[in-house]
Amino acid sequence: MEESPKFTPEQQALLEQARQGSRAAAQALFEQIIPFVLCVVRQVLDFPLRRLFDSDHFVEEVRIELWDHDLPPHALDSAEAFLGYLATTAKHKVSDERRRWVDAQCRTLRRQVGLDDGGADTLPSRTRPPDAAVGDLEEWCKF
């Protein structure tokens, strides 16, 4: 991962305000370091998930986490601690979606077949005669 950005005096002041309990300061600081969070997300976001999610989705997930939950006290100890907290949160958000969409057996992306990959052959034909559909219905009723 690239080296953590150095905080400007303004960002250090925002960090100090956030340490004293200002959520607005934490949000303002987050707005200034979005490029860092985006870089972290892009490093851990692999191809299967890139088909479903944009990197900005995970940045917004981190923003929601920052807004909806109280920061742990250690996350505001220093600039490095705050960046580490955001990086870890971003990695966890990507990992959650990877478990949901790649690793889970019930909706794994490995089972999806694109239309260009032969999936179109399994779709019902639009030119199927109506009597064939009626025959299917009769078979189903007998069952």
How many CA atoms lie within 13 Å of 41's alpha carbon, on the beta-carbon side? 26
**What's the pTM?**
0.70
Residue-by-residue pLDDT tens, the chain, 143 positions: 456 678 999 999 999 999 998 989 999 999 999 999 999 999 999 888 888 899 999 999 999 998 888 888 899 999 999 999 999 999 999 999 988 877 766 666 565 656 666 655 565 566 666 666 666 666 666 65
